[in-house]
């Protein structure tokens, strides 16, 4: 099969298109002819040598999601058949025209979807749902601050929070991204280049703060995140793009009784991922199928252009997902 292989740790050009052996499905697995995959920050970190692949996943082929057609099913698979159009989450290996996954990790595509839409969905919606509802326990009528509202996970989080009846604040680095996020249900947009988000939230909430913060930045935002939070607020760290080490004054956490937690999908066990997949099928997929929520695709690249796709992601110019067309 053809795959984008990390030939050594480094920049985008270390990704080379190569012929490698096809994966072999087990009795509970399916073999998929991959039509599209999508980029994630974890792929860049893996390419740079900073984020090893989870156990059991390809160490040199990135890609955490796929959309394609089932080619072969294991002997214990009953609910999926050859020819089904499916998408889902992977531990790695999505940048290839064949992949293997446990059959319960595969989700059947809505009938009117294309493979690009499907490939843009799993990582962002699984992550956003888990952060908002499993970790933060977001409730109707509460308020939430979504950082990086124009990112893939950010666009999903804005839609999920809005649909749940929350009041949504969001940050982004351009007015264009904020305008597009507003179209997805964001109530108040804050341009972090021009505005102090903690000051804006303090003013607009009359000093009470927000109930939930979904953060991707880490260290540079820590103090302002805590200052932006309400009593009994919940901070969920989804990414650490700005750094991971903070000097913490515990007094505001104690005074406001704030809860802080982290989340991530890539390194979880199969059982945990199956649980999140089941939640997605039950709570999110019906809204995506009806069109009341949607995956946001910024740009597509061919597999042969994978290095260019990574370079583009490093600019942070995208609004929504960057998708790789595999076949």
Asked if residue 207 and residue 96 are part of one domain, the reply reads no
Mean pLDDT on 77-89? 96
Residue 295: C-alpha distances to residues 14, 122, 152, 156, 188 (Å): 29, 9, 8, 7, 21
On the 0-12 / 13-18 / 19+ scale of CB atoms within 10 A, 287 is middle
The pLDDT assigned to 55 comes to 87
Asked if residue 189 and residue 288 are part of one domain, the reply reads no
Task: Indicate the DSSP class of residue 194.
Answer: T
213: β partners = 145, 235
Asked if residue 277 and residue 245 are part of one domain, the reply reads no
Asked if residue 64 and residue 21 are part of one domain, the reply reads yes
Could you give the 3-state DSSP secondary structure of residue 5?
strand
Q: Are strands 15-19 and 229-237 parallel, antiparallel or unpaired?
A: unpaired
The pLDDT assigned to 102 comes to 97
The pLDDT assigned to 110 comes to 96
This prediction has a pTM of 0.95
* Domain count along the chain: 2
Could you give the 3-state DSSP secondary structure of residue 265?
coil
The pLDDT assigned to 34 comes to 98
Asked if residue 251 and residue 141 are part of one domain, the reply reads yes
The enclosing domain of 257 has a CATH number of: 3.40.50.720
Q: Say whether pLDDT at 238 is over 90.
A: yes
Q: Say whether pLDDT at 183 is over 90.
A: yes
Phi, psi of 127 (to 5 degrees): -65, -45
Residue 159: C-alpha distances to residues 33, 144, 186, 200, 222 (Å): 30, 12, 8, 21, 24
Domain end, chosen from 262, 285, 311, is at 262
Mean pLDDT on 101-127? 97
The pLDDT assigned to 322 comes to 98
The pLDDT assigned to 267 comes to 86
Q: Say whether pLDDT at 56 is over 90.
A: no
Give the model's confidence band at 242: pLDDT under 50 very low, under 70 low, under 90 confident, else very high.
confident
Structural domain boundaries enclosing 219: 124-262
Say how many residues make up the chain.
327
């Amino acid at each position: 099969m053809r795959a984008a292989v990390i030939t050594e740790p480094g920049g985008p050009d270390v990704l080379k298109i190569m012929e490698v052996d096809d994966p072999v499905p087990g009795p509970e697995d399916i073999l998929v002819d991959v039509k599209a995959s999508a980029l994630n920050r974890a792929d860049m970190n893996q390419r740079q040598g900073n984020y090893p692949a989870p156990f059991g996943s390809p160490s040199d082929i990135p890609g955490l999601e796929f959309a394609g057609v089932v080619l072969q099913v294991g002997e214990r698979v009953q609910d999926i058949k050859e020819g089904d159009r499916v998408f889902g989450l992977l531990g790695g290996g999505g940048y290839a025209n064949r992949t293997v996954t446990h059959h319960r990790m595969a989700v059947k595509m809505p009938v009117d979807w294309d493979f690009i839409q499907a490939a843009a969905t799993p990582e962002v919606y699984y992550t956003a749902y888990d952060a908002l509802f499993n970790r933060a326990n977001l409730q109707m009528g509460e308020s939430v601050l979504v950082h990086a509202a124009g990112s893939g996970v950010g666009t999903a989080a804005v839609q999920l929070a809005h649909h749940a009846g929350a009041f949504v604040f969001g940050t982004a680095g351009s007015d264009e991204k904020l305008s597009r996020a507003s179209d997805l249900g964001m109530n108040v947009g804050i341009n972090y280049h021009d505005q102090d988000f903690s000051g804006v939230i303090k003013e607009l909430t009359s000093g009470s703060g927000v109930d939930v913060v979904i953060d991707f930045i880490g260290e540079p935002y820590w103090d302002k995140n805590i200052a932006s939070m309400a009593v009994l607020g919940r901070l969920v760290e989804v990414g650490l793009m700005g750094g991971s080490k903070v000097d913490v004054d515990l007094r505001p956490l104690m005074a406001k009784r704030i809860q802080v937690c982290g989340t991530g999908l890539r390194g979880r066990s199969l059982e945990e991922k199956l649980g999140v997949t089941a939640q997605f099928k039950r709570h999110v997929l019906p809204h995506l199928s009806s069109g009341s929520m949607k995956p946001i695709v910024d740009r597509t690249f061919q597999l042969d252009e994978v290095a260019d796709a990574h370079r583009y992601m490093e600019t942070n110019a995208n609004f929504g997902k960057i998708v790789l067309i595999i076949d």
